[in-house]
Structure formats: C-alpha cells, structure tokens
Structure 1
Amino acid sequence: MTRQLFSFRIAVTLLVWTTSALAASALEMPTRKAGLWEMKMVRTGSPMPDMTMQHCTDETTDKAMSSTYSPMSKDMCSKNELQKTATGYITDSVCTIGGMSVTSHSETTGDFNSAYTVKVTSHSQGGPSGPRDTVMTVEAKWLGACKADQKPGDIVMPGGRTMNVKDMEKLKAMAPK
C-alpha cells in the first residue's frame, strides 16, 4: 500500500474515531456544523508525524460515517463506552487492531459548531514495536463553507491531495489480507 493511501487510512480512522457516534450506546456525539473543518492532529509517543487536514462535511456525511464505521468498532472493540459530561464527552474503549490491543480514553470538549478538541490517551501492546503509550490531541475548527470544488466527505491531506471518505471502502478492499 502506498504511503499516501496509508496516511489517508490513518486520517480517516482518526476522523471517524473523533467524530462518530458509538452504535452500542444510546448516547451519540453531536453532528458537526456543515462546512469545511480544519483538523490538526498532534501525537506524542507515536512514530506517525503530526498532521493537519481539512474535511468538507455535512450532516448526512457525518451520520453516514457513524453508521458505516460503528459496526467495525463493534467487531474490533470489547469495550466502547461514551458518556456526556458537564464540558463534553468521555469515551473509553478497548479494541484489537491488527493484532494489537489498544486501550484508550478520550475527552472531547467544544461546541461542534465553531471548534472542538479531542484528547486521546492510549496504551497499545502486542504489536511489532512492543508496548507503547501515546497521546493525541485533535484541534478542530470550522473554517466556513466548503470550497466550490469540494463535496461532502472530501479530505484535503497534507501536500494538497484530496480524497473522499467514501473511498475508504475501496481502500479496505485493496488492503493486504
């Protein structure tokens, strides 16, 4: 798989992780305001570089991401709990991804209309690099309407390449088994 496709898969996974509702819970994360969102992802304890991307979305796209990827989450995660707090949402999960066990805790704050922040702390074990603790912070801000040449689901990656989140299904089919 090319580096760009791998980066896209990572970006979409993180995007879904930080915006989707949990199907196992009666509680759902709010839908983001339609338009263009800038998402800056900063990680510590991870070999992946920091990344800033833009995502054009609308209510239908956000909800479709939830309904498409929540079943995958159910299959991969033995625990996936979401709770509302006075300042936002807390998610705790235990998932198995590519033979690794990942235990994570995330705190989401903000209004989903102009800006929100997601801080994820995780511990992974069982992978080729051994146990690892990581912290990722996603700072998202609404930039305005999507650009004229964009459609909902478009993600503008670092370097300017644009892919659509709906292409994720195609990428899954291309991935080595």
Structure 2
Amino acid sequence: MRAIPLLALPFVVASISPALAQATVEFPARRTGQWEIRMGAAQVPGMPEMVVKTCVDPASDRQMMQAGMNMLAQNCEKRDMRRDASGIVIDSICQMGPMRITSSTVISGDFQASYSVRSSATVQTPNQPNPQTTTTVQEARWAGATCTDGMVPGDILMPGGQKMNIRSLPGMAPGQQQPATPTR
C-alpha cells in the first residue's frame, strides 16, 4: 500500500469532507454518481480555483467517510461535531507533522444536488512566529449518475490528472477497515 502524497492530501480531504461528520451527526449520504468539487482559498489573492472529481456509490461513500474519520482519529486531539442552523459544524485541533491546525468547518447542502464546505484554519509551525490563517471554500455539485474519465466508484481525480481510489489508501482494502471511535 502506498501513502497519500502530501500534495494530494487537500484534494482527498475535499472529496471526503462531507462525510467526516457522519459518524456523530446524521445527514444524507451523497447521491450516487460523479461529483465535481471546486475549491479556492477565499483569503489568498491570486490562488487559482482547483477542481476535483469523485465517483461515489454507497459503499465507496462509506469508505471515504471511514478514511476521514480515521484521519481525524489519528491526527486530531479535538474533533467536535454538531448540527446548528448553518449546517454541520466541525471544530478540530490537529497535528500534521510539524503543523498544528486549529479549524472550524461548516458543511451545508442537500447532498443530492449540491453541498458546500467552508473552513477557516489557523496553522502554526515551530519555525514561523506568526500563525497563518486561511479560509477555504468548496462548492460541490452532482454532475450525473454516470462517472466520466474512466472513473469507478471510490476514484478521486485531482487537478493534473492524478487519480487514486479510496480502496488503495492504507487500511481501506476489504477486511482492513477499522472503525474510528469519534470523541467529543
């Protein structure tokens, strides 16, 4: 099994982020088929919009949720999830290598035609005295029942054409899934 390339991590997270809250907050699964996720950094002038495509069916959507929950369980000391008037809210404090990331994410939408993810994060690193704060916005829309570009359920197609399947991630092969236990 191969590790996720660090550059690919934001795109993987983009494709699984609506599923992150499913373990403790109930909301509908994404509609089966192809989803297009447009991402941009709201506070980074000149940052180009990026587009990720993902192909899901009920089984792969559950696997994407499991991958997200495992990522939270392994890297985050705090991961509070709740529903409020704005949607699903996830507050977390995570350690990714030398980076300490404090974030608040709001996920909203119907998950049948569209959903959005807005995340504000503060990143602290030992070699930078001032933390960096960014806001990213993801707008996802259902593109159709048939997946294009040779994609099969579980595939994530990133900018530049790199494709990975959720089943190829460590711990995601059949029989290797270990349920993450969410904490509050």
TM-score category of the 2 structures, normalised to the smaller one: 0.7 to 0.9
TM-score normalised by structure 2 residue count: 0.77
TM-score normalised by structure 1 residue count: 0.80
Counterpart-to-counterpart distance in 2, 1:111 and 1:169: 30
Contact 1:40 1:51 in 2 (8 A): yes
Q: Name the structure 2 match of 1:84.
A: 83
Q: Name the structure 2 match of 1:67.
A: 66
Query: Residues 169 and 46 (structure 1 numbering): CA distance in 2 closer, same or farther, change over 3 Å?
Result: farther
Q: Name the structure 2 match of 1:110.
A: 109
For residue 8 of structure 1, give the secondary structure of its aligned residue in structure 2: helix
Q: Give 1:17 deviation, angstroms.
A: 3.1
Q: Name the structure 2 match of 1:101.
A: 100
User: Which structure carries more relative contact order (alpha carbon 8 Å, separation 6+)?
Assistant: 2
1:37 equivalent among 35, 38, 52: 35
Counterpart-to-counterpart distance in 2, 1:42 and 1:64: 25
Q: Name the structure 1 match of 2:163.
A: 162
The 5 Å alignment of 1:135-150 reads 135-147=135-147, 149-150=150-151
Which range moved further: 157-166 or 41-50? 41-50
Q: Name the structure 2 match of 1:13.
A: 13
Aligned length: 165
Which range moved further: 60-69 or 131-140? 60-69
Q: Give 1:127 deviation, angstroms.
A: 5.0
**Aligned-partner residue type, residue 125 of structure 1:** Q
Describe the superposition over 1:56-84 as per-residue Cα deviations: whole angstroms up to 9, x where unpaired: 01111111122234133123111111111
**Aligned-partner residue type, residue 104 of structure 2:** H
**Aligned-partner residue type, residue 14 of structure 1:** A
Query: Residues 5 and 157 (structure 1 numbering): CA distance in 2 closer, same or farther, change over 3 Å?
Result: same
**Aligned-partner residue type, residue 91 of structure 1:** I
Q: Give 1:47 deviation, angstroms.
A: 10
Q: Name the structure 1 match of 2:53.
A: 54
Counterpart-to-counterpart distance in 2, 1:93 and 1:71: 14
Query: Residues 36 and 128 (structure 1 numbering): CA distance in 2 closer, same or farther, change over 3 Å?
Result: farther
Kindly report the root-mean-square deviation, in angstroms, between the aligned alpha carbons of the 2 structures: 2.6
Q: Give 1:52 deviation, angstroms.
A: 0.5
